[in-house]
Structure 1
Amino acid sequence: MHEELVEDEEEDGADMDPSLQEHLERQRMLDEFLSPIALDEAVLYKLARRFSTVYRDLALHSKEQFLPTPVTRLPTGLETGRYLAIDVGGTNLRVAFIELLGEATESDVRSTDASERSRDTIRKAQRQRVGRTLEKAWPIQEHLKMDKAEDLFSWIGDCIAEVVAESLTSEATRGHVPEELEMGITFSFPIMQESLTEATLMPMGKGFAITSDLDLRKILLSGYEKHTRRPDNESEPSSKRRKLFELPKLKIAAITNDTVATLASLAYAVKSLPNSRVAMGMIVGTGCNATIPMKLGMLHESKAKHVKSKDPQAEETVVNTEWTIAGAAPPLRELNIITKWDVELDRACARPGFQPFEYLTGGRYIGELIRLVLYDYLTDVSGLSKRVLPATLIQEYALTTTFVSDKVARSRSDQELADELSRSLPPPENSEWSWDVVSAGVFRKIARTVQRRSAGLIAAAVVGLLACAQEIELKVDSNEGSPQNPSVSLPEYNGTPDLSAVSKSLSPSTLDPNDARSGHGPIVPVLSPTPTPADWQSGPEELVVAYTGGIIQHYPNFKEMCQQYIDRLIMRTGPQKSGKSVFLREASDGGVIGAGVLAGMVGNG
């Protein structure tokens, strides 16, 4: 009987079309080549558990990571007022007036009708809570990045003055010139803080030449100060110049980094959503970082004492994790997640070994990692000489993550991508090699595999951080609670994750078409056979992860991949207390809005 089966298989192979056989063999070789990058769910679950342990240790002992910030509480959602907000990013400066609208005035009499209460809840959730006016943005030119700190901040002061001057002539403020304006500032750079109103800017990186520690409050006010007084040599300045001088002084109410601002901005907005609570904030863009509120008892005594010295009533503080720094890297090595391509990238970067997790996930590095893998495949597996390849595939960092996102990840077929690559990444004129369906398909699959790993790593870090802060529990690794159908993971159609296939694979109860979240991918906190926990009486709780950043916001399907990995990891451990699920929610423009929210928290006492 066994011999007959073998003969049948051999006959089937003999009948197979040779071109199909060749295609399948190429795919097998490519899959084998990429196997070090492909992470299965079991490995990611182990990683999440080990991350939670490492994060707990870093909170207790590290002087470089899990640093307390001066923010010891999140907004109540009741804050109101109009505040000037500044967001200094790695590529752009943004200035705006942020108006916090707070809660709508509600009747003291609650309707007894359930459907009416439901409609009230929906109206409350849909109500706009933040207004933005007179918003302007400027690219930070390369020459400004290379200038002295005083020149850069003088330019920032000029931009602030431009918005302030315009506000004084607007309908909202005409006839009323305040003596000072309360302001919040967000910086997308490492800062050290003793209080919410003061900060020391550390060496900036991201292409900026500033290498010395700077008193942010002092240098920013200095850059704007010239606009608060009339020039000595002009007794009667022109109306245009008068608009940019004798402006109100600035009162800095809050300084923070971009991750904390993202957390604060969405925490303010989500207060109106039932059973939702913002549990952490995350940036996945050029770089990667996260912040989370933690109890003081989970931090080293010196960290907790520092917080208590500034706020004796504080019981917790928002912690800046800096989770990409080397202290959090051991689990990546222990589980053999670091590949030879990762090692090559690390060795060649400006600070080898400094931020291993960012080298695997940050937008600055993903394009380069894909280039290294693709170059290795074309030269080692396909046997091509580098002389016949496009210069972009040979030169370090010539292949950008933006190009991969815009051209490769969005292509609908291998042929379409081959045509695009022939135009945008042509080989040398004397090359005998050219892009075709096969090589384009290899490029797409490598990019997809690298980015899928990145999404899985981000998901494991999110789940591990939430477990570290005791927001969720991660039980001993088990396959219980893991769907048996592998297609649920990330099914694909033409190389793109097919989210509808995921939906069809999950139980109907998790995909209620009336559920407002159903458009964002399935949220599956508990498997259907599991008994409902006793503490579910008030309804399931949604832990919100506020996110922003170019990769997670704009790279095709990246956010959806992260969400699905998070769902699968949570499902793997079984039901959470209070039916907790974890949901990624975008905090668009969180930097500038968060600056206004933090200023409002100070202004409202």
Structure 2
Amino acid sequence: MGVTFSFPMKQTSLSEATLMAMGKGFAITSDLDLGGHLIKGYEQHRTAGLPPLKIAAITNDAVATLVSFVYQYPAAPNQKAAMGLIVGTGCNATIPLQFSKLHKNKFPGLISVQQDWDLLDVGIAVNTEWSINGSASPLRMLGLISRWDDELDKACEAPGFQPLEYMTAGRYLGELARLIFVDFLTTVQGVPPEDLPQGLHQRFGLSTTFLSHFYPGSDKGDILEQLQKEFDLSTDSTFTWTSDHADTLYHIAKAIQTRAAGIVAAATIGLLRCADELPDPSEPVRVGVANGDNVEELVVGYTGGCIQHFQDYLKDTQAFLDFITQEEFAAQGKRIRVKLEPCHDGGITGAGILVPAALASTQA
């Protein structure tokens, strides 16, 4: 069988994986042999009616999404399935990169290539984790990190661990909205903190799921009624929810989502350029197209509940991608597009696809 884990891992082969350190509060420790741990647990509880188990392939969910997308997407002659993107509880991406693009300390311990291949020209699927501890400087330089982001970061299990994810992923967007909303109510409107519902004082007391459907015309109903139902006020409180409060919370959620979509779009463009899938705008466009419409499409397979359901996350990400490519390449007379396409079962099918690939590689 093939197995997909939603964890960063170190791998020397498809069938072996060691968990890396994480900052998301998981109980599993680092330096854990994932495959061995799973087999050991299975064997301890396997009854006579169950078959023996062999793990042929282990992969990260973002890698599995890319594998599945490349395998299944019916690309046209002018298209290329170029990247896998996850925006759910977490935010992550995977893209094939040449070894020449990587520092040598990122090379796998065991590399097997055909005899006539130059190692530095060989591609490898790189699971980015987008940002990691110490990489927030560009975000600060561009003025993207607010005081509420800093407040959220400091309260995390590992402050500074994944700064970009804290600004884009479903695990954190509701909490960011809570911090901003409480600040608005207490600082701008002067509401005594003790008059606010207890849920607004609790970390993660405002969920991303709730905000996903919190907009005028939502099928969940009127936003003021949603707010009143979600956060009951104590009977002795002099504070009452109003339409202005509901509208403010909606605009906070929308602003957070718009920023997240812009960051994900910019990061996607940057990663595609790093992989030489997009040319430098200052240089002549070198991509060739196979149809008369003169369009080159790089297709990104996406999955995750946050990008699908949180306000207009998907629509706005695509709009930002279109705006960036239009601004950078239209003057050169080329219509290059980065297109988002769904790949919702990639974590499952990608692991399955890797099993025969791994077995064929072992036999060879």
Fold agreement, TM-score > 0.5: yes
Contact 1:195 1:310 in 2 (8 A): no
Equivalent residue number for residue 328 of structure 2: 573
**Residue 363 of structure 1: which of 156, 167, 170 is its match?**
170
Contact 1:544 1:583 in 2 (8 A): yes
CA apart distance, 1:309? 5.2
CA apart distance, 1:578? 7.2
1:257-272 matches, cutoff 5 A: 257-271=60-74
- The SS at the match of 2:295 is coil
Equivalent residue number for residue 601 of structure 1: 357
Equivalent residue number for residue 118 of structure 1: none
**Residue 223 of structure 1: which of 4, 22, 41 is its match?**
41
Q: 2 CA distance for matches of 1:207 and 1:305? A: 27
Amino acid of the structure 2 residue aligned with 1:592: I
Q: 1 CA distance for matches of 2:104 and 2:229? A: 59
CA apart distance, 1:393? 1.8
Contact 1:533 1:579 in 2 (8 A): no
CA apart distance, 1:255? 0.7
- The SS at the match of 1:431 is coil
Count of paired positions: 352
Equivalent residue number for residue 191 of structure 2: 384
Q: 2 CA distance for matches of 1:445 and 1:355? A: 25
Equivalent residue number for residue 150 of structure 2: 343
Q: 2 CA distance for matches of 1:432 and 1:559? A: 40
Confirm whether residue 281 of structure 1 aligns to residue 84 of structure 2.
yes
Amino acid of the structure 2 residue aligned with 1:288: C
Equivalent residue number for residue 58 of structure 2: 255
Structure 1 residues 465 and 327, CA gap change in structure 2 (3 angstroms): farther
Larger Rg computed on CA atoms:
1
CA apart distance, 1:212? 4.2
Q: 2 CA distance for matches of 1:226 and 1:393? A: 44
Contact 1:566 1:582 in 2 (8 A): yes
Equivalent residue number for residue 589 of structure 1: 345
Q: 2 CA distance for matches of 1:321 and 1:385? A: 44
CA apart distance, 1:537? 4.7
1:150-161 matches, cutoff 5 A: none
Tell which deviates more after alignment, 263-272 or 300-309: 300-309
CA apart distance, 1:389? 1.4
Structure 1 residues 245 and 341, CA gap change in structure 2 (3 angstroms): same
Contact 1:360 1:366 in 2 (8 A): yes
Amino acid of the structure 1 residue aligned with 2:253: A
Amino acid of the structure 1 residue aligned with 2:194: R
CA apart distance, 1:204? 5.7
Equivalent residue number for residue 18 of structure 1: none
* Residues 507-556 of structure 1 deviation map (CA, whole Å, 9 limit, x = unaligned): xxxxxxxxxxxxxxxxxxxxxxxxx9994454533211111112012223
Equivalent residue number for residue 18 of structure 2: 200
User: Once the two structures are aligned, what percentage of the paired residues are identical?
Assistant: 46
- The SS at the match of 1:185 is strand
Structure 1 residues 541 and 426, CA gap change in structure 2 (3 angstroms): same
Q: 1 CA distance for matches of 2:76 and 2:233? A: 53
CA RMSD of aligned residues (A): 2.7
What stretches of structure 1 of length at least 5 have no aligned partner?
1-182, 229-243, 477-531
Amino acid of the structure 1 residue aligned with 2:167: L
1:161-172 matches, cutoff 5 A: none
Q: 2 CA distance for matches of 1:272 and 1:534? A: 16
- The SS at the match of 1:361 is coil
CA apart distance, 1:385? 1.1
Equivalent residue number for residue 208 of structure 2: 401
Q: 1 CA distance for matches of 2:125 and 2:239? A: 54
Confirm whether residue 439 of structure 1 aligns to residue 245 of structure 2.
yes
Q: 2 CA distance for matches of 1:321 and 1:281? A: 11
Contact 1:277 1:543 in 2 (8 A): yes
Equivalent residue number for residue 372 of structure 1: 179
Equivalent residue number for residue 298 of structure 2: 543
Q: 2 CA distance for matches of 1:534 and 1:266? A: 22
Tell which deviates more after alignment, 459-468 or 275-284: 275-284
* Residues 272-319 of structure 1 deviation map (CA, whole Å, 9 limit, x = unaligned): 544322111111111111111011111123434746457764511111
Equivalent residue number for residue 99 of structure 2: 296
Confirm whether residue 209 of structure 1 aligns to residue 37 of structure 2.
no
CA apart distance, 1:363? 1.1
Structure 1 residues 311 and 577, CA gap change in structure 2 (3 angstroms): farther
Contact 2:287 2:296 in 1 (8 A): no
Q: 2 CA distance for matches of 1:185 and 1:346? A: 31
* Residues 69-120 of structure 1 deviation map (CA, whole Å, 9 limit, x = unaligned): xxxxxxxxxxxxxxxxxxxxxxxxxxxxxxxxxxxxxxxxxxxxxxxxxxxx
Q: 2 CA distance for matches of 1:380 and 1:226? A: 57
